Amino acid sequence: MVRVSTTEDRTRLFWNQYKGVGRHQSLKYIQLRDALTQAIDDGFWSYGDKLPPEGELARLTPFSLGTAQRAYADLVREGMVERRAGAGSYVLRPSKILDTPWHFRFRPHAEAAFRPVFPRIARISHHSGTGFWSSFLRRSSEVVCISRSVRIGSEFTLFAEFYIDAGPFNRAIAARRKVEGVNLRRELSLNIVRMTNDVRVEIFTEKDHPVLKLKEGTSVLIVETRAYAQSSNGNYIQRMIVPPTPEWLHISEFGAGAPVI
């Protein structure tokens, strides 16, 4: 990595390297937030490092002071950045990674290499009673939903939800203090024998998918995968909510080396 001698030099280097991140986003603070997120994920800034002051970002990048403040506020809400009174903003923690099955990849055209994928846990929630999952996960009195924001290269961020029976999930993490780093494919013995994929377009509402930060009324793509395991309590549902993008979506066939993250 290139060494620089001053804070401002490092801020200039950051913007030179990451100004292409999120360029398709319509909201400027999201573009800056995504650029900062990728820089942290890549190790440009590490855990405990001090980030550039908002005023410095406003002076050395095309964004206003208000845009920089709003981008930092989002990173604070996501738990990635900590504000210390009178001291500035600091990287709070590394990315939260959870190894779950992943069957979707993106690329600029059908012959191009796939974009890298960077998932981050947004929340883990438990649901009882009935829901859209009930007929498929019918043996489950309670299901777990793992919600993630997933950055696709430097192009855009999507939102994904992974639903599975709460019993096996709870047993898989019972002996651990943290869920990060758990390999669910191994812990849950997800021996999948068949998968189906359904796709539709729907109108985005912020209350349903606040992580995406899109304008109300934007059309988004919903891809729902239902995976059938040898043991029915290993069945799972994965939903992906994709914002408008010029990228091609590739859905891997089961048994053909489907990528996982």
| pLDDT on residue 233 | 67
Q: What is the CATH number of domain 104-251?
A: 3.40.1410.10
All residues at 6 or more sequence positions from 253 whose CB lies less than 8 Å from its CB, including other chains:
none
pTM of whole model > 0.75?
no
- Measure the CA–CA gap between 91 and 94, rounded to whole angstroms: 8
pLDDT of residue 1: 42
Taking every pair of Cα atoms in the chain, the longest distance, rounded to a whole number of angstroms, is 60
Helix (H) or strand (E) holding 207: none
Domain locations in the chain as residue ranges: 7-91, 104-251
Q: Do domains 7-91 and 104-251 have the same CATH topology?
A: no
CATH of domain 7-91: 1.10.10.10
pLDDT for 219 equals 92
> Taking the mean position of all CA atoms in its chain, how far away is CA 202?
20
| Element holding 118 (H helix, E strand) | strand 117-128
- Write the Ramachandran bin of 97: left for phi over 0, alpha for psi from -120 to 50, otherwise beta: beta
- Full pLDDT tens readout for the chain, 261 residues: 444 335 788 899 999 988 887 676 678 888 898 889 888 877 788 878 899 999 999 999 999 999 999 999 888 876 778 888 888 899 876 544 444 556 778 889 888 888 877 777 778 888 887 888 888 887 667 888 888 888 787 788 888 898 988 887 777 666 554 555 555 666 666 677 888 999 999 998 877 776 677 788 889 999 999 988 877 667 889 999 999 999 999 886 654 334 333
